[in-house]
Structure formats: structure tokens, C-alpha cells
Amino acid sequence: MNTLEQIGSQRITRLAEIENVTQPTMTLLIDKLQLMGLVERHRDNDDRRATLISLTVTGKSYLNQRRRIGTERIADLIINLPSEETNLLIDALTPITNLSRIGSTIFSSDRSVSHPTKGGSNER
């Protein structure tokens, strides 16, 4: 779901490539997410034979809720740390944030690159 939020609608085959799982595994996952109302299938306007997967409004809301809960849990853990450990954590945050930004840039550029298919054309 994070992938769909970051790069938008994608074919199941492409999602499987990005997430490094098989196409049948991705299909099962998408089926479950669709039953939960978190993603939807729709025709690709560029290739009417193809189906694209997109996040629904409910899916976006679910992602935001899960992130908020995760942030709250981490905050609760940090509050209970001894002050010297809190200071160590604060000192570590700058390099961690920098690495995260670098990784995010690499991650997004890697996910937006189209990969050649067996027929030699690029699939997006």
C-alpha cells in the first residue's frame, strides 16, 4: 500500500517486481486488500487489456492511521527512557534522518524506473 501511495496506480506484475514477490502472491494480497476496501482495480486507459491497482480513500486513511499509531507507540517508548538514553537517541537522529532521506531518494527513483519486459518493451 505504501508503494501505491508513493508511485500511484500500478499493474499487479509491476507491484510484484517492486516488492520482490511472485505475481500470484501479489494477486492474493491485492484480492484481500480489495475485499477490505483498501485498494481498487480499474482499467488502464493506455492499454485497455491491462488492469491497474490504486489505493482507495479508505486505504489512504488506513495508512495514515497506522502511521499515527506507530508514531504514538514510539513516542510512548521514548518518554520512558532514562535521560542519558534519550540524549543518545537525540544525537543519533540527525544521521538517521540523513540516511532516511538518502534511502528515500534511492527508493523512489528505483521504483519509478520501468523495467524491460520479455518482449523488449518497457512496462510501467
Question: Is the domain covering 1-69 a CATH 1.10.10.10 domain?
Answer: yes
pLDDT of residue 46: 87
Q: Would you kindly state where each structural domain of the chain is located, as residue ranges? A: 1-69, 81-116
Q: Where are the strands (E) in the chain, listed by range?
A: 39-43, 51-55, 115-116, 122-123
pLDDT of residue 124: 38
- Whole-number percent of the chain with pLDDT over 70: 82
Q: Evaluate if residue 105 carries a pLDDT over 90.
A: no
19/35 Cα distance (integer angstroms): 20
3-state helix, strand, coil in the chain (%, to 5): 65, 10, 25
Rounded to the nearest 10 degrees, what angle do helices 12-19 and 23-35 cross at? 110
pLDDT of residue 100: 77
User: What Cα–Cα distance (Å) separates residue 53 from each residue in 24, 40, 96?
Assistant: 15, 6, 32
- Reported as a single tens digit per residue, the pLDDT across 27-41 is 999 999 999 999 999
CB 78 within 8 A of CB 88: no
